[in-house]
Structure 1
Amino acid sequence: MIQSAKTLSGSLELKAEVCVIGSGAGGAVVAKELAEAGRDVVLLEQGGYYTKEDFTQREEEMMPLLFEEMGQRSTEDGAILILQGRNIGGSTVHNLCYCFRTPRPIVEKWRREEGIVWTYEDLLPSFERVERMLHVQPIPEAQVNTLNRKIREGCEKLGFHGIVAHHNRVNCTSSGFCILGCPFDAKQSMALTYIPAADRAGARIFADCPVDRLETRGDRVTRVVGHVADAAGTVRGEVRVEAELVVLSAGAINSPQILLRSAVGGKGSTSIGKHLHLHPSVLLAGIYDEDIYGYLGIPQSYYVDEFIDLERNPDSGYIIMPIFGFPVATAAQLPGFGRTHARLMRSYHRMVGILVLLHDQSEGEVRLGSDGRPRIRYHLRPAEQALMAEGMRHCAEILFASGAREVVVPYHREPLWLKPGDDLFVIDRRGCRPGEIPLASTHPQGTCRMGEDPARAVVNSWGKSHELRNLFLADMGIFPSSLGAPPQITTAALADHIAHFIAAHWRKLVG
């Protein structure tokens, strides 16, 4: 049963063999696999539990429900917006369903640099289980919408390589509202797949139950402590879970926050919260003479990998992707004021959005804020600013090659309004400096990274804490580096791999 902690009248005391914190692509998988292995599992999720009846397709209603800080979480300087899920199912409820396995060269990099003991082949059973559970399949050609076809057309004319990707949707109606939660249950999020399976296997699942800290004694976690609040946010009591083993899967921003509040890290690794990678992205808009209706259909089906070659260089490159926002988000991204902005919005139905997503080597850090919110610092290296500007130029080339009559580069001051035949290297000269153009991230990662050296890593190759013998982590925070690909399948496969390790070594781990 999935229960909201808001319905509780006071404090709650629970005992379990396993307490899982977080219900996204990591926590949901761990909860399901361990419950099916016969373990007594309690799962705590800070956000609410929502179903298709709750997904109204309205931005002003869905953003507060589905996103951290109502979709306004950002780096400390406000330069990069960070979108993360806050609900049963985590970010899988609002993501756009790209499904890619971990790139083999990235696994080899992790083995080479951080001593990861397993191989790409060792992950294959986990990939297969996850893809089967999430119903991963190729996106049908008939569901490649006009926006994605325009980007493909431009790439083909320019000789840029791209593919129609795989996704995790079943009987998709092509409504286009994926980022606001699927009102038709086509998107096979964790809330529709792993969470119900965990529930059927006997896991006790609590929504609206934020975790504040871990209590420890010696080298063990003894209790998970959260709180109960009513609908108005008034704290009514504590939730205390005594568990033999704890799996922290609260995401790359919140997991280090919980560890830092719990004073974990004082005896070993100083890496908690550090090595933050963001996959920062920047978008451009092309305006066409014909109707595009970019908000209709699957938002992202085409995927341009011309500018990332992980076999040749696992430390550099960028991906180009289609993107389209609903009216409020689009209005916020577009430059200008008054009549200038109104002119752009009148072109909304003739607009194609396109973005550059960087495989970043730049790093940041998550710290504790005095107000309880995370302080997120991130510095985008000058060389990677230049690389993103190069990608922006290629985006403009793609848009013009597919018939755009105007391309908008949304610098805050003096945005560029480009026409066919203009010198596109003006983008390189202007650059991509944080604070001068809107940047966003949906893939924070690396803040509790895996590795065999406790001085460099927070957990080992199996997600086990170097400091606390009964603490595991399973979320994007454990990636040892930037992934360089959409992370949904990697996150779930690593969680599956970790859960099967825990199940196989249970007696040794809790003995």
Structure 2
Amino acid sequence: MIREGHEIKHDLREEVDVVIIGSGCGGAAAAKHLAEGGLSVLILEKGGYYTAARGDFDQLSDNMLARIDGGRGLDTSTNGELALMYGNCVGGASVHYWADSWRLPEDRARIYEEKGVSGHEHEVLAPIFDEIEKDHNVHPADPVYRNRMNELFIEAGGRLGWHIEDVPQARRGCVASGHCYQGCSYDAKQSQLVTYVPAALKAGARLYADCEVTAITREPGTGRASGVSARFLDRATGRPAGPKLEVKARAVVLAAGGYASPVIWMRSGLPNGSGEVGRNLFTNPNPYLYALYDEEIYLWHNIPAAVGTSDFRLPRYENGRYVEGGYLLHPNQIQPEFLAVTLPGFGGAHAGLVAQLPRLGSAVAWIDDEHGGEVTLREDGTPSYHYALQGDDVLKARDALKKQAQLLFESGAREIFVPDSAGTRLQGPEEIAQLDTLEIQNGAMLFAAPHPAGTLRMGDDPSRAVVASTHEAHEVPGLYVADPSVFPLPPSVDPSLTIMAFSVIAARNILSHLA
């Protein structure tokens, strides 16, 4: 059962075994396993409920930003350096993600162990990943899904001596529409909207959409999580619609995502003895370049990244000094509307670029950042996201831009455009060195920030972590966190499968405890 905000006409009270805040990769995976385990489960989703069957995914970027993106796609860090990308709909960010689906690398699982996480070792996660990949039809992208930018990436990367690999995709019956980020109009992308949310509902879970949690409640005296207070929203305005909801539960699962979960924690006045709540904000910042070709590219055709290279995933150091790497590198995909917004320049210069959109190509990187930011609350309770590229993360971004420029020129680009405030252009490979001194910080370039993590970090030492390795909060019994905010560091690949796998472990621990 899914009930939407406009259907609720009066205050409601519910009593369930588990209430789950959020319906993305973490919340949906936890809900499926808890409901299948025989518990009564209620999912609360702040965003709206949209489906392909009702024609809600119209492939118009301005409409879809308002429907499925948090902050209507306009939220940024306080310094204007990051565009915060997160979901605000049933299915969460998985509705607008690219469907890239990697397992947590074994080397990163070992680092998590070193950071104090137990029970999430590589051998523990492997069979869980097997199940998730089967449920989501994860497979390498077939050659038919390579658009022209993917083909150029393969050809140029090969000449540069890079290993180019097929990217695992969570798709079933893809029609190559090219509108993945706007939500799949064909239910081919295996988001939580078409996988674990329906599976949870089939197992007996229920879901309220347009329902914002205002506080996690606790039992007087014990401090144990006892449920949530929530309110229903008017979807058109995002403002309270009137009716409220009180839920009493034996366990609460916080799965609102790396940007929202610490906000709910702080608004609820939950304890923060470690001082780590809201800190360690990692985002996988995305530097990217545009390039002009003599041939038509059509960046918005077919799937976004059928191929890529992991050659630079791990950073390389010599004598303790950064040399290169620390990011994934892929062909980029971007729709005409976003291209027009992010291309440099104004007036006639900008119009000249827009007139050549079909011949524009692009490459993008996901920086495996290691210097986190922080989430805080303003006096009115609204969040501020403080983040600045610093230390080796700046060097990673520059190296990623230089590798992109190498590849784009090698693939036949006539000119490269840097999406910076200065409108920097590179006319040939001999000018790539300019990227070493290019101003890229504090809003000079806008980096997409699609993978928030770390803001409620996990670890067995309560003096250094918010959440235990059981996913239960150290200081709030009965409260479990099942989203990327528990990651001690980013997983260095797209986090969707890792979020689901961790959430399965959280669900198993809840089942064991409540049983």
Mapping of 1:357-436 within 5 angstroms? 357-413=366-422, 415-436=423-444
When normalised by structure 1's length, the TM-score is 0.96
Q: Deviations over 1:142-177 (max 9, x none)?
A: 111111111121111111222111101111110000
Q: Partner residue of 2:253?
A: 247
Structure 1 pair 289–463 and aligned structure 2 pair: CA distance change class (3 A) = same
Q: Deviations over 1:392-448 (max 9, x none)?
A: 0110110010111111112202x2221234321111122532311121110011100
The answer to whether the Cα contact below 8 Å between 1:47 and 1:87 also exists between their aligned partners in 2 is yes
The separation in 1 between residues aligned to 2:429 and 2:463, in whole angstroms, is 54
**Aligned match of 1:440 in 443, 448, 455?**
448
Q: Partner residue of 2:102?
A: 100
The answer to whether the Cα contact below 8 Å between 1:134 and 1:188 also exists between their aligned partners in 2 is yes
Cα distance, 1:129 vs structure 2: 1.4
User: What secondary structure is seen at the aligned counterpart in 2 of 1:178?
Assistant: coil
Q: Does 1:221 align with 2:230?
A: no
The answer to whether the Cα contact below 8 Å between 2:291 and 2:414 also exists between their aligned partners in 1 is yes
The separation in 2 between residues aligned to 1:311 and 1:423, in whole angstroms, is 24
Q: Partner residue of 1:194?
A: 196
Q: Deviations over 1:75-108 (max 9, x none)?
A: 1122210110000000000000111000111110
Q: Does 1:270 align with 2:275?
A: yes
The answer to whether the Cα contact below 8 Å between 2:48 and 2:90 also exists between their aligned partners in 1 is yes
The separation in 2 between residues aligned to 1:26 and 1:273, in whole angstroms, is 18
Q: Which amino acid is the alignment partner of residue 419 of structure 1? A: Q
Q: Does 1:207 align with 2:209?
A: yes
Q: Deviations over 1:313-354 (max 9, x none)?
A: 9x9711112222222211111111111111111111011111
Q: Does 1:111 align with 2:119?
A: no
The separation in 2 between residues aligned to 1:173 and 1:235, in whole angstroms, is 38
Q: Partner residue of 2:47?
A: 47
Q: Which amino acid is the alignment partner of residue 265 of structure 1? A: P
Aligned length: 505
Q: Deviations over 1:465-503 (max 9, x none)?
A: 101111100001010112211111101111112112222
User: What secondary structure is seen at the aligned counterpart in 2 of 1:114?
Assistant: coil
User: What secondary structure is seen at the aligned counterpart in 1 of 2:376?
Assistant: strand
Unaligned runs of 5+ in 2: none
Q: Deviations over 1:20-77 (max 9, x none)?
A: 1100000001011100000000110000110011000001111000001100111112
Q: Partner residue of 1:458?
A: 466
User: What secondary structure is seen at the aligned counterpart in 1 of 2:3?
Assistant: strand
User: What secondary structure is seen at the aligned counterpart in 2 of 1:356?
Assistant: strand
Cα distance, 1:460 vs structure 2: 1.0
Q: Partner residue of 2:61?
A: 59
The answer to whether the Cα contact below 8 Å between 1:277 and 1:444 also exists between their aligned partners in 2 is yes
Q: Partner residue of 2:328?
A: 319
The separation in 1 between residues aligned to 2:473 and 2:119, in whole angstroms, is 15
The separation in 2 between residues aligned to 1:486 and 1:265, in whole angstroms, is 31
Q: Partner residue of 2:263?
A: 257
Q: Partner residue of 2:507?
A: 499
Q: Which amino acid is the alignment partner of residue 430 of structure 1? A: L
The answer to whether the Cα contact below 8 Å between 2:405 and 2:429 also exists between their aligned partners in 1 is no
Mapping of 1:73-88 within 5 angstroms? 73-88=75-90
The answer to whether the Cα contact below 8 Å between 1:137 and 1:168 also exists between their aligned partners in 2 is yes
Q: Partner residue of 1:21?
A: 21
The separation in 1 between residues aligned to 2:195 and 2:120, in whole angstroms, is 27
Q: Deviations over 1:236-283 (max 9, x none)?
A: 1211100000110000111111110111124x3221111111111111
The answer to whether the Cα contact below 8 Å between 1:24 and 1:89 also exists between their aligned partners in 2 is yes
Q: Partner residue of 1:141?
A: 143
The answer to whether the Cα contact below 8 Å between 2:119 and 2:469 also exists between their aligned partners in 1 is yes
The answer to whether the Cα contact below 8 Å between 2:314 and 2:327 also exists between their aligned partners in 1 is no
Q: Partner residue of 2:308?
A: 303
Cα distance, 1:118 vs structure 2: 3.6
Q: Which moved more, 1:369-378 or 1:9-18?
A: 369-378
The separation in 1 between residues aligned to 2:164 and 2:495, in whole angstroms, is 18
Q: Which moved more, 1:298-307 or 1:497-506?
A: 497-506
Q: Which amino acid is the alignment partner of residue 202 of structure 1? A: G
The answer to whether the Cα contact below 8 Å between 2:29 and 2:196 also exists between their aligned partners in 1 is yes
Q: Which amino acid is the alignment partner of residue 159 of structure 2? A: K
RMSD: 1.8
The answer to whether the Cα contact below 8 Å between 1:16 and 1:243 also exists between their aligned partners in 2 is yes
Q: Deviations over 1:196-254 (max 9, x none)?
A: 11111110111110101111122311220110234553431211100000110000111
**Aligned match of 2:72 in 59, 70, 84?**
70
User: What secondary structure is seen at the aligned counterpart in 2 of 1:445?
Assistant: coil
The answer to whether the Cα contact below 8 Å between 1:389 and 1:431 also exists between their aligned partners in 2 is no
Q: Which amino acid is the alignment partner of residue 349 of structure 1? A: P
The separation in 1 between residues aligned to 2:28 and 2:316, in whole angstroms, is 32
**Aligned match of 1:294 in 294, 299, 302?**
299
Q: Deviations over 1:117-146 (max 9, x none)?
A: 442101112111111111111110111111
The separation in 2 between residues aligned to 1:151 and 1:72, in whole angstroms, is 30
User: What secondary structure is seen at the aligned counterpart in 2 of 1:159?
Assistant: coil
The answer to whether the Cα contact below 8 Å between 1:30 and 1:496 also exists between their aligned partners in 2 is yes
The separation in 1 between residues aligned to 2:480 and 2:408, in whole angstroms, is 45
- State, as a whole percentage, how many aligned pairs show the same letter: 34
Cα distance, 1:385 vs structure 2: 1.3
Q: Which amino acid is the alignment partner of residue 127 of structure 2? A: P
The separation in 2 between residues aligned to 1:280 and 1:23, in whole angstroms, is 24
Q: Partner residue of 2:243?
A: 237
Q: Partner residue of 2:127?
A: 125
The separation in 2 between residues aligned to 1:204 and 1:117, in whole angstroms, is 29
Q: Partner residue of 2:11?
A: 11
Q: Which moved more, 1:202-211 or 1:320-329?
A: 320-329
The answer to whether the Cα contact below 8 Å between 1:105 and 1:310 also exists between their aligned partners in 2 is no
